[in-house]
Structure formats: structure tokens, C-alpha cells
Amino acid sequence: MTETAQSYFLEEYPAGTTMFRQGEPSDWVYVIQSGLVEVRREFQGQDCLLAVLGGGDFFGEMGVINGRPRSGTAMVREEAQLLAIERSFFLELFQKDAEIAGRVARIMSQRLDHTNRWLEVLLFKHPDERLVHALRLLVEDQAQPSNEHRGAVYLPFTLRELADRSGVTREQAVDVVERLADDGLITSASAVEIDGPGYVVAEADLLLDFLGVSGQATDERLVSGGPMYPGSGAATGGSPAPHSA
């Protein structure tokens, strides 16, 4: 096998394959050709689903670039074809190709912001708060920037995914979703004849009325930290690592 062939290879991985675990050495970067990969992280003793990545996405670059162990765990959700790139070869490309370096840097910055906001959800004490703020972040991810998150937004996520992303149990998620539905704030996709799993959030801003807060978390509502959303400040305790692991 040539040195170039050893530097990268393409391989199929079945669902359930763990590509790496949090805390392991960072030796490879992966580019998804097809399939789905989920990235999870243990934070304050809780397992949190940070992202589900698909074709064209890459992961594992953060630990390779900064020379640190994996900041999260990556597992194949749906059978995937991945291009694995060895650490030294990837760093050589990163240093020599300005276009690649620029794209990776932009995505890393976006992922850092994304992960910080998701981990802040786990700073809330109560399941109501965690799931409501998780729904707001999902609306933000799904809605077009020009919409300013106003109006109904379809979230193609199962109840299990909502629970995973919120750091609550399935039973707690069922309870919160049922009460949100009773208040007319959320509707199942099937109830509005959408062909697919998930829920429709009527109006993201009204979700905060369910909590009786003004959109800005207080110290009493957090285990630690401060405001949650852009423009209201960042949570204390430093910046968590991005989900790119």
C-alpha cells in the first residue's frame, strides 16, 4: 500500500458503528459521502445529542487540529460511506490549501457557537425549561433567517430525539409536549397532515410564555451561568468544545 493510500481511504460502516469515543486520541478526520452520523457529548454527567450529520458534512477535525482528545462521541446512525483522512495528511492539506482552511475554520466557528448554545440547555434545572429552550434552538436551526422565527415551523424530530437533545427522559418529554399541545403551542406533524415524524411549533416566541419568563434566563433558573440567547450574554464557566470532536 502506498503512502498516499495509507493517508486516506473510503469505507462503508453499518448503523451502530462507533467511529470514536469522547476522550480517545484524535487521529482521523471523516467526510460523510452518504448516510447519517450522530455526535454526542457527555456534559455534567449527562449524555447529550449535539448533531446529526449527513452527506457532505465532516467531523473529527477539531481534535486533529488542536491536538487534543476527542471532545465527543461519533456513531453511525444510518449506514454510511465515509472518507477517512489521516491526521498528518489532513493537517498538510489544511496548511497548504487556503480554500480548505477557510471552509474548515468557518464551519468550526459555527459549530462552536451551536454547541455552546446546546450545552447551555443542560444548565437549566427543570425539564420544562430544557425542552422549551431546545425547541427554540431547533426552530432557529430550521427557520429561514429572514423569518425571525415568526409563524409556524415544522421540526422533523421524533419525541426520542427531542428528549436526547434536551437531556430529559422520554417520560419527561411526553409530559412537557402534552402540556405544550394542550396550550396550543405545539402540534404533532400527523395532526396537520404532514407526511413524516415530528412536530409543528405555532410560534417560537410564545414558548417562553409557557415558562412564564421573558426570554432571558436568571441565575435562579440555572444551575450556573447567565443568559442563553445571542444579545443577552454568554453562560459562565468557559466555552465548551464544538461538536466536531
- pLDDT one-digit tens code per residue, 138-149: 998 886 554 454
Q: Please, what is the average pLDDT of the chain?
A: 83
Read off the pLDDT of each residue in 49-53 and give the average, rounded to a whole number.
91
Q: Residue 139: give the domain boundaries.
A: 125-216
Do both 42 and 70 map to the same domain?
yes
Q: CATH number for the domain including 159?
A: 1.10.10.10
From 73, 102, 120, the end of a domain falls on: 120
Reading the block at residue 192, the C-alpha cell is 396537520
What is the structure's pLDDT at 192? Answer: 87
Q: Higher model confidence: residue 29 or residue 145?
A: 29
Instruction: Give the burial string for 81-110 (b: 16+ CB within 10 Å, else e).
Output: ebebbbbebbbebbeeeeeeeeebeeebee
Do both 102 and 15 map to the same domain?
yes
232: in domain: no
Count the domains in the chain: 2
Q: Give the Cα separation of 97 and 104 in Å (integer).
A: 11
